[in-house]
Amino acid sequence: MTIFNQIINNKCIWLPILLWFLIQTFKVIVDLIINKKLNVKRILGAGGMPSSHSAIVSSLAVCIGREYGFDSGIFAFSVIMAFVVMYDAAGVRRAAGKQARILNKILETPGLTTKEVQEKLIETLGHTPVQVFVGALIGIIAGAIV
């Protein structure tokens, strides 16, 4: 089997990619319903319910566990990396989003700054713990089914 065929047939690659696409498409649709405006940039945007990052890494971990064994080193590695990604999504990136929101408000306040703002900072960088949990749950279920 060629390398290309091995990659195409590797469910541990296509399942997380498919989950990412489905979740991001879901976010675009929800954003369209709420704001009555199509925001195609949302497909690549971070934040929102559920966390596609959490779904990707948790589905990958389950897929690797099923493929190589839940007692394998590669499964342990994937679980630890999943925790790092989910911690980052709910911790560091969420804090950065909160800081961006505050900085945007400061820059919009008349008289507080002479700086002319060309573009706003992105505020939806991270996830709430619930968004991370739901994303992880989706990923675990998808990894167990496929």
Query: How far is the C-alpha of 139 from the C-alpha of 13, rounded, in Å?
Result: 13
Placement of tokens 């541990």 in the chain? 12
Query: How far is the C-alpha of 44 from the C-alpha of 71, rounded, in Å?
Result: 34
Query: How far is the C-alpha of 56 from the C-alpha of 47, rounded, in Å?
Result: 14
Query: pLDDT per residue over 69-119, tens digit each?
Result: 999 999 999 999 999 999 888 776 666 667 777 776 777 766 665 566 666
Query: How far is the C-alpha of 55 from the C-alpha of 137, rounded, in Å?
Result: 7
Query: How far is the C-alpha of 90 from the C-alpha of 85, rounded, in Å?
Result: 9
Query: How far is the C-alpha of 16 from the C-alpha of 20, rounded, in Å?
Result: 6
| Amino acid found at 67 | E
Query: pLDDT per residue over 19-61, tens digit each?
Result: 999 999 998 898 889 888 888 877 777 777 899 999 999 999 9
For residue 57, count CB atoms less than 10 angstroms from its CB and return exposed for 0-12, middle for 13-18, buried for 19 or more. buried
Note the pLDDT of residue 93. Answer: 63
Note the pLDDT of residue 39. Answer: 81
Query: How far is the C-alpha of 39 from the C-alpha of 30, rounded, in Å?
Result: 10
Contact 138, 23 (CB under 8 A): yes
Tell me the domain boundaries of the chain: 3-91+126-145
Note the pLDDT of residue 129. Answer: 83
Q: What 3-state class would DSSP assign to 48?
A: coil
pTM: 0.77
